[in-house]
Amino acid sequence: METEGALRRLKTVEGHLRGVIRMVEEDAYCIDVIRQIQAVEAALNKVSAKILEEHLNSCVITAVQGNDKKERERVLKEITEVFEMSTKV
């Protein structure tokens, strides 16, 4: 994983979330708060997608090309679980 890029993005999201918290504390207009929450969610989804992409291009490819059947099954099961969780949220 490209840790520096992910950390930079997450720290940006953290700052944005603090702004949303301030908005709620200051009793900002509800729709404005919701829009900012949606922006935070979109930013988190972007970070998550980037991390997943890097995982697929490294760990998963290595496991799928390897000779260890159990490792291939484990990695593919993890990916399936990640997608299943994303539809439950």
Between CA 12 and CA 19 the distance in angstroms is 11
Q: What pLDDT does residue 1 have?
A: 56
pLDDT, tens digit, 9 for 90 and up, residues 31-77:
999 999 999 999 999 999 999 999 999 999 999 899 999 999 999 99
Q: Which residues contact 77 (CB under 8 A, 6 or more apart)?
A: none
Give the total number of structural domains in the chain: 1
Work out the number of other CB atoms within 10 angstroms of the CB of residue 75.
20
The structure's pTM equals 0.83
Is the distance from CB of 35 to CB of 28 less than 8 angstroms?
no
The CATH number of the domain where 72 resides is what?
1.20.58.1000
> Range of 25's domain?
3-88
Between CA 81 and CA 89 the distance in angstroms is 13
Q: Which helix (H) or strand (E) holds 74?
A: helix 69-88
